[in-house]
Amino acid sequence: MNILIASSEVVPFAKTGGLADVCGALPIELERLGHRPFVFMPGFRSVYTAGQPVEPLGVEFNIPIGSKISKGSLAKSVLPGSEVEVFIVQQPEYFERAELYREAGEDYPDNCERFVFFCRAVMESIRFLDLQVDVLHGNDWQAGLLAAYLALEYRRIPGFEKIASLLTIHNLAYQGNFSHWDMALTGLDWKHFNWQQMEFYGRLNLLKTGLVFADALNTVSPSYATEIQSSDLGCGLEGVLRHRAKDLSGIINGVDYDIWNPESDSRIAKNYDVTSWKEGKSECKKSLQKAMNLPESDGPLVGLVGRLASQKGWHLIIEVMKTLVSRFDMQWTILGTGEPEYHRALKELAEAFPDKVGIELGFSDDLAHQIEAGSDIFLMPSQYEPCGLNQLYSLKYGTVPVVHATGGLADTIINLDQESQLQKTATGFSFYEYHADALLAALRRATDVYSHNPDLWQQIVTNGMQQDWSWSQSARAYISLYERLIDRKASASVDQCSDE
Ligand code: ADP
C-alpha cells in the first residue's frame, strides 16, 4: 500500500507534542511491515536544523489562496534510520517563523492561510510527482482540508478516483476555527459553508471539515473515540462525531523504543533494564537532582513533562503541590512550557521550596528523557487525554504513572486495586473523579507503597517495564484500517460504475 501521511509535526523535524512523535514513528513501522509511506509536512525553520539533509526537488508551484497566488516549492528529506521520504512544503513567508503556530501567547493571524496553502500544495504535489496514493492520511485540523479537496475537487482527476481518505484526531480541542471570511481562502464553493459541512457556529472550522469529508476517522485511543461523542469531551463536535460513529475508531499510539528505552538511551546518566532498574534509576535520580539543583534525598521524586495547558491538569497539580510540598519528604521535577499563569505559579513554588521543586520552563528533549529515567513517579492528571505518550514512556523507564483515568490513560494504565493486586497486574495508580482531592489521594497511595512496601513497588515497576507498547501492534491496526478503507472505496467505485 502507498500511504501519504500529512502532518504539521514530524519528529525530528518539528514538534510541539505527541502528534510529532506519532507521525515520525508510524511511517517507519509501516515501511518495516512492507508498505510504502511518504510524509508531507510544512518547511518550518526547525526542519533545517534537525540534522537530516534537506534537498530541493526543483518543483515549484503556484497555489491559489483566495484571489492571490502564493508561490512555493518542494524539498525532500528522509526519516532517520529509514527510507521513508519526507516531502517538505516550502514557503518561507508562511513557515519559517520562530514558532509553529503561535508566539507570545497569540496565534499567528494567518494560520488559516498557511494551512490552506499546505493542504493545496500536498494535493498538487501528488500530481506533480505522479505519486500513486492508496490512502491520504491527514492528521489534525492542519490537514483537515485535504479530505475536502479530494472529495470536492480532485476526485474527478484520473489517478485520484480510488484514493481513500482518513483523518486522525490527535486532540479534538484544537480545531482550526477561523473567521467566516477565511472560507474565501480555501477556494471552495461558499455553498459548503453550512452547518453540515464546514461551518461551526458562523465560523470556518477546518477540523470539522475533515470530520465531514474524510472517508474514515480515527483517534488515538478507544476510550477517547467514545468520549468525544459526548458533550463533555466532544468540544461542540460531538454531533458530527456521533453522526459518523460507524466510521470512527480508536488506535492507541505506539512508542518508538529506538528513542525511548532506558537500555539504550544515550541521554541518561546510566542505562538499565528490568533486572538492573534499581541501580540504574538511583544513578539517574542523582544526576537529575543535580541538573535541577535539588539536593540528594531518598524520598520519592515526582516527574512531570508536558505542555503547560489546562488540559494537562495543572490546576490540580499546583493545588496538590501546595498541600504536599511543605509537609512531605518528596521532590518535584517539572519540565514544560505554555500558559503564563502556570509559569508564574510554578516559579513561585520553585522559589519558595528550592530543595523540593526543580523546574525548567522550556522545551528540552534531553531533560524529558532524564526526567523519565530519574523520577520514581510520573504524574499525568490530565482532564482529558486522547492517548498520552509520557505514561507509556514512564512504564518503560520504571517510573510509576499516577494518572486520571481518562482516554488513553484509562486504556493503558492498570490501577493498583484489590483485583490487580491479587492478580499482580498493576502498572500504576489511577483516580476517577477530576478533582484535586482525588489526585492527592492517588499520589498518597503511590508514595505509601513506594515508602512502605518495596516488594509491591518492585512488582508494579517491573510489570510496566515488561509491557510492549511498541509501534508494531499499532501500525498493524492502522494497516487493517487502511485495507478496509481501500476495499470499501474499490467496491464503492464498482457500484458507481454499475449504476452508470
Ligand atoms: P500532547 O500531544 O497532548 O502534548 P503527549 O503525551 O501525547 O501530549 O505527547 C507529548 C510529547 O511531547 C512527549 O513526547 C513529551 O515528552 C513531549 N514534550 C511535551 N512538553 C515538552 C517539553 N517542554 N520538553 C520536551 N518534551 C516535551
- Domains of the chain, earliest start first: 2-254+472-499 (3.40.50.2000), 277-469 (3.40.50.2000)
Query: How far out from the chain centre does Cα 31 lie?
Result: 20
Q: Whose CA is nearest to atom 27 of ligand 1?
A: 306
467: exposed, middle or buried (Cβ count in 10 Å: 0-12, 13-18, 19+): middle
Give the chain's radius of gyration (CA, Å): 23
Over residues 299-348, the pLDDT tens digits come to: 999 999 999 999 999 999 999 999 999 888 999 999 999 999 999 999 99
Q: Separation of 306 CA from ligand 1 center, angstroms?
A: 5
Tens digit of pLDDT for each residue in 372-426? 999 999 999 999 999 999 999 999 999 999 999 999 999 999 999 999 999 999 9
Taking the C-alpha atoms of 414, 417, 418 and 422 in order, what is their torsion angle to the nearest 10 degrees?
Answer: 40
The SS3 call for residue 224 is: helix
Confidence of residue 495 (pLDDT cuts 50, 70, 90): low
- Return mean pLDDT, the chain: 96
Give 490 Cα–ligand 1 centroid separation in angstroms: 38
pLDDT of residue 408: 98
Cα–Cα distance for residue pair 260/400, rounded to 1 Å: 16
| Residue bearing the bigger pLDDT, 36 or 104 | 36
Closest CA to 147 of 387, 490, 485: 485
Residues 6+ apart with CB under 8 A from 17: 9, 170, 171, 307
392 vs 255: CA distance, rounded Å? 7
- 494 pLDDT band, cuts 50/70/90, is low
Q: What atom of ligand 1 comes closest to residue 389's alpha carbon?
A: 6
The number of CA neighbours under 13 Å toward the Cβ of 177 is 11
pLDDT at 497 over 60: no
Asked which of 68-82, 131-145, 242-256, 484-498 is least confident by mean pLDDT, the reply is 484-498
Is the Cβ atom of 18 under 6 angstroms away from ligand 1?
Answer: yes
Task: State the closest ligand 1 atom to the C-alpha of 382, by its place in the atom list counted from 1.
Answer: 3
Cell of 421: 493486586
Burial class (CB in 10 A: 0-12, 13-18, 19+), 68: exposed
**pLDDT > 70: percent of the chain:** 98
CB under 8 Å to 453, separation ≥6 — which residues?
none
Closest protein CA for atom 4 of ligand 1: 17
User: CA-CA distance, 395 to 462, in Å (whole number)?
Assistant: 9
Quote the CA–CA distance of 218 and 242 in Å, as a whole number: 13
CA of 336 to the centre of ligand 1 (A): 8
Round to whole Å and give the CA distance between 171 and 7: 13
- C-alpha cell, 331: 521532590
β pairing state of 216-219 and 248-250: parallel
**What separation in Å is there between the alpha carbon of 216 and the centre of ligand 1?**
27
Shortest-distance atom of ligand 1 to CA 390:
6
In 330-449, the DSSP E strands lie at 331-335, 357-360, 377-380, 400-404, 429-431
Amino acid, single-letter form, for residue 59? V
Residue of 251, 307, 366, 395 to mutate, ligand 1, most atoms within 8 A of C-beta: 307
The whole-number pLDDT of residue 104 equals 84
The CA distance from 156 to 70, in Å, is 24
How many angstroms is it from 19 CA to the middle of ligand 1? 9
- The whole-number pLDDT of residue 17 equals 87
pLDDT in tens, 119-176: 999 999 999 999 999 999 999 999 999 999 999 999 999 999 999 999 999 999 999 9
Query: By the 8 A CB rule, do 6 and 41 touch?
Result: yes
Q: Is the pLDDT of residue 498 over 90?
A: no
pLDDT at 491: 81
Given a cut of 80, whether residue 457 has pLDDT beyond it is yes
